Structure 1
Amino acid sequence: MASTWRIGELCRRTGLTVRTLHHWDHVGLLRPSARTSSGHRLYDERDVGRLYRIVALRELGLPLETIGALLDGGGSGGPELAELLGEHLVHVERQLAALGGLRDRLAALVPAVRAAGGAPSVDLLALIEEVTRVDDTVRNYFSEEQLAALAQRRERLGEDAIRGVEAEWPELIARVRAELDAGTDPADPRVRALAARWMELLEAFHGGDPGLRDSLYRMQAENSAEIAQQYGGPSPELIDYVKRAAAAG
């Protein structure tokens, strides 16, 4: 008898969140093959194979839209499993090599800093470069030129302004979520005012640059479920609510 998993079981086995699987179902990326008589999602072994392909291709840097087109194109179900496993292995080995370099640098810096009471700026700059290289998520969405532009913008804004924006986000998200939970129409003036402030805070990040704005929106859209789960950021539903409120303004 073929194995099937309910969404909660699948999440426990894979480490993914229910919110993520709901989102992937909503956008048509991973739809369960069946449902129970009470409407609960049921995933079978073929769904698990597709799920692995999604996770692996996403880790390799492909956006969700591209992954969906690749998996659904030509009726082949996407790349052969053995080929994808090989590419995934190469990617993980590169990550391990990068992490090994970061570990070696940290191992060398810890005793030096303890002995000297501080670290030379040149060592800290090299450490920052190592950390940035290991963090693939941001680099999948922003070019080197864009990252440089963001660094310059951060310097122009100053740390006080940046901390102010970062401190305002949680309160703003909570206020918008309260309106969404209350069923307030996104065209309501109160919600439109919150959406306008939302866009102002985003502009503090991208400065009106359309390329930076598009990269930010794409990263947020394709990782919104994880951002909400891990960092308390806005959920996909909340982002859609804000977009509708902004459009109504």
Structure 2
Amino acid sequence: MVVMGEVKVGVLAAESGLTVRTLHHYDRIGLVSPSSRTASGHRLYVDTDIERLYRVAALRQLGLPLEVIGDLLDDVLSLREVLAKQQAYLADQISELTRVKSTVDLMLADSSSPRTSDLLDVMRKVNGMADTFSKYFDADQMARLAQRRTEIGEDEIKRVEQAWPDLIARVDAAIAADLDPTSDQARALADEWMGLLHQFHGGDDSLRDSLYRMQSENTEQIQAEHGGPSPASMQFIQAVQAARPQ
């Protein structure tokens, strides 16, 4: 949705991925206030308000407290500077945020001012993914994931990301061909599957368990938004693993 003109708080909340309560709070403390109101007193946000909201959301993602963010914005921190800070942060995140970082990269590369619809799209994606991860990974686990990303390097991360679509396609083909889960071919597929997952959790049992739980409870969303495996693919791999000799 392209945001133009004046936008009511409910629409802005839906488009940004923030809550109406959060937007009201930002208004109360003077962090992001609407430029105008309707005759009945409803908040109306314009493009400059949305750009300021983007700055707040990006700096908040970096872990800065609201009072510090307010001071930074009062010192006229530019949108380009905020985007640069967010770019550096996203580069350290796990692979599920790669597509968000790519969007920010494109916005930074554009010499013109970013459209408010682009800013809202990034906020929505980042907030949605952060909310999902926060349900399954605690702060200590997130720190270990960030450390693991640094250890294995961006080249290996890209290799794993590029390997998943091909592997998922081959597993889907095996399912369509009614491949026996006890066959050597099925076990080879499962070994490759588990190897890619191992690159994520590194043998850490708590990371592995949290990953599996997140996948099982959000399979459709992950498949739709990130091209992840279907429930049938995951069930096939589970069947192969269960059929292995003990």
The normalised TM-score by structure 2 is 0.53
1:212 aligns with 2:179: no
Equivalent in the alignment of 1:221: 216
**Cα deviation, residue 126, structure 1:** 10
> After superposition, where does 1:134-153 map in structure 2 within 5 Å?
135-153=130-148
Indicate the larger mover: 124-133 or 96-105.
124-133
Equivalent in the alignment of 1:198: 193
1:104 aligns with 2:45: no
Distance 2:90 2:215 in 1: 28
RMSD: 3.5
Equivalent in the alignment of 2:163: 168
**Cα deviation, residue 102, structure 1:** 5.2
Structure 1 pair 95–153 and aligned structure 2 pair: CA distance change class (3 A): farther
**Cα deviation, residue 112, structure 1:** 5.1
> CA offsets, 1:159-216, max 9 Å, x none?
1111111110110000001000111111121011000110011011001111000000
> CA offsets, 1:95-122, max 9 Å, x none?
6569977513469543558xxxx94x59
Distance 2:151 2:176 in 1: 37
Distance 2:149 2:229 in 1: 22
The normalised TM-score by structure 1 is 0.53
Q: State the AA in 2 paired with 1:228.
A: Q
Structure 1 pair 236–104 and aligned structure 2 pair: CA distance change class (3 A): same
**Cα deviation, residue 127, structure 1:** 11
8 Å Cα contact 2:92/2:146 also seen in 1: no
* Unmatched segments (≥5 aa) in structure 1: 1-90
> After superposition, where does 1:38-57 map in structure 2 within 5 Å?
none
Secondary structure at the counterpart of residue 158 of structure 1:
helix
Distance 2:188 2:21 in 1: 46
Distance 2:210 2:21 in 1: 25
